[in-house]
Every structure is written in C-alpha cells, then in structure tokens.
Amino acid sequence: MPIPDFQSLMRPLLQFAADGKAHSVRECLDHLANEFHLSEQERKELLPSGRQELFTNRVAWAKTHLRMAGLIEAPSRGVFRITERGQQVLREHPQRIDLKVLRQQPGYLEARDSKERKNGRKNIEEDATLADQTPEEKIESASVALRDSLAEEILAKTKAASPTFFERLVVELLVRMGYGGTRQDAGRAIGRSGDEGIDGIIKEDRLGLDTIYIQAKKWEATVGRPEIQKFAGALQGFRAKKGIFITTSDFSKEAEDYASRIDSKIVFIDGETLCGLMIDYGIGVATVATYEVKRLDNDYFDEGDG
C-alpha cells in the first residue's frame, strides 16, 4: 500500500504509545510499518535526495508535531512515551488526529507557528497540497520541480543550437565526467571520423587504456533500431566493444531491445538523461543560490563521562 503521509501516522503512533511505556523510535517504526502492511521496498524508499528513508522521515515528523502539542514526551534520549493529555486526545478523537486537532492543543501554535505567523506565512493546513508533506519533502519536491523546469529549458536551447555547438557540448560533458583525457585531446577525437556511423572516438580514461566510440545526433525524431544497427556495425568494423549514442530526442523500444542482445556495449543517452547530466556536471548552468539543511547533533548534547 502507499506510504501514509505524516498526518495519517499521528494517531497510530499515539495509539502505539497508549500503554504508557517508554518506546524507542525503532520499535515505533517496526510497529507502524507492520500496521500499514508496508513492503520491504516501501520501507526502504528514499527521499529524492537519497539521504533518508521516506517512511522514517514521516514518522519522525509525526512524532515531532505530537511532542510540540504535548501529547508525547521524551523521558530520556532516544525514547518517547505518551502523556496524560495524549491519552485524553486519543479518547476524544477515535478516528483521526492531524494538524487541525493539534492546533487545538495549548502551546502548540506557540511551539510551531510563532515564527511563521511573525513572517506572515500561511499555516501548513491552509494549503491542502502541502499539508501532507514533511518539511524535507517540501524542499525536495520544490528542488525536483526546479530541476525539471531547468532541464526543459536546457533541452530546448540544445535543440536550437548548431551541430558544431552540440559537438562541443558533448566534448565538454564527457571530459567533465572523466573521459577523454584532456579537453584538447577530446576535442581532437570528437568529430574526427564523421563516417561509417561514427562521429568520434574518445579515451575511456586519462591513460587511454581503452577507447569509446561516439555517435551524437541532435534529432527531434525518435532514434530507431536501424540507426543503432548502423552504429553497432560501425563498432564491429573498428573491432570496438564500447559505444555511446547521444541524442536530444529518445530511443525506441526496438532500439533498446536490439542493443541489449548484441556483444558490443552501447550506452544510450537520450535528451532527458543528457540534460540531467549537464545539470549534475555543471554544463550550461549557473548556481543561483545554495541552502544548507541542518539537523540536530545529539552527540553534542550527550553529557556522558569523557
């Protein structure tokens, strides 16, 4: 089943703690994952940044909001337990506990919203599209949206560029990725042959222990099997085992199936992948702003001996 949003986890989390005992976060995660019948794959699904499991992040934020509302407390490091107010809220709300319920609890707004209200921002529940996202999810969703928009702009610009510019772009990207030795070496290799289905040859590493043959097509139409067959035949003619086919469009299923069944290793880079690599390796893009997201360092506050 889909991973529940952090508001949907609030009441189940509080119900789990209803026995009044102190529980660890790991106990809670295991219990809630079983209650919602999450698969191992769903439990391991990561945020877009790949830095934390999505389910763990949502449980953590459900716990944070319940604590700010005074429904749970932390008697010692790494554990939590329900409070008397938490028991009362459980009885009063047998179906669901969410942000609307928490806003009714004394001190919650002061603990959570004072800064937002001072800055004139909307409360999270006023925007239904954001209400079920944790802060990390909002940041990363916005980052993904910005990246997608940037990729569209890059692709449009690349398609409108001249073949010569596209050739230079491919050189710059491959060198930035660690191929081709120096940029000067790569520049001489790409576009050197221009026949027999090969647009260029580039070193696989700086020592030139192996070579990779390149085909670069600034196309609008889908690249089909005939083009891949031609490229594969050219590789055989050079006794080459490795090739990269780069296009501003995409590849047909037949082309991909064919490439998967031949001896030569051909890597496909379509327009979407090309733009993603350009963003990752800083080709044709400029950094506008950088934001740091920090977390609490629990070890700093550990007052143990030593």
Domain locations in the chain as residue ranges: 10-133, 158-280
Confirm if 112 and 61 have CB atoms less than 8 A apart: no
CA atoms within 13 Å, Cβ hemisphere of 123: 13
Quick: pLDDT tens for 224-260: 999 999 999 989 888 888 999 999 999 999 999 999 9
Greater model confidence, 17 or 189:
17
Enter the tokens of residue 138.
Answer: 């909002």
Predicted TM-score (pTM) of the model is 0.60
Rg of the chain taking only CA atoms, in angstroms:
27
Confirm if 98 and 128 have CB atoms less than 8 A apart: no
CA distances, 303 to each of 79, 106, 296, 306 (Å): 17, 31, 15, 8
Write down the pLDDT at residue 138: 82
Mean residue pLDDT across the chain: 84
Residue type, position 268, single letter: F
Mean pLDDT of 34-38: 96
CA distances, 19 to each of 36, 59, 83 (Å): 20, 19, 11
Quick: pLDDT tens for 121-145: 444 443 434 467 888 888 887 888 7
Q: Helix, strand or coil for residue 193?
A: strand
- Under the banding of pLDDT at 50, 70 and 90, the label for residue 284 is very high
Write down the pLDDT at residue 238: 84
Greater model confidence, 197 or 48:
48
DSSP state, 46? B
Same fold, 10-133 and 158-280: no
Residue 252 CB partners (closer than 8 Å, separation 6+): 222, 223, 224, 225
Quick: pLDDT tens for 78-124: 799 999 999 999 999 999 999 999 999 999 988 776 535 434 444 44
Write down the pLDDT at residue 183: 64
Question: How many whole angstroms separate alpha carbon 223 and alpha carbon 193?
Answer: 21
Q: Does domain 158-280 have CATH number 3.40.190.10?
A: no
**pLDDT at residue 208 greater than cutoff 90:** no
Greater model confidence, 184 or 157:
157
Write down the pLDDT at residue 187: 57
Question: How many whole angstroms separate alpha carbon 259 and alpha carbon 240?
Answer: 14
Please give the CATH number for the structural domain made up of 10-133.
1.10.10
Write down the pLDDT at residue 303: 60
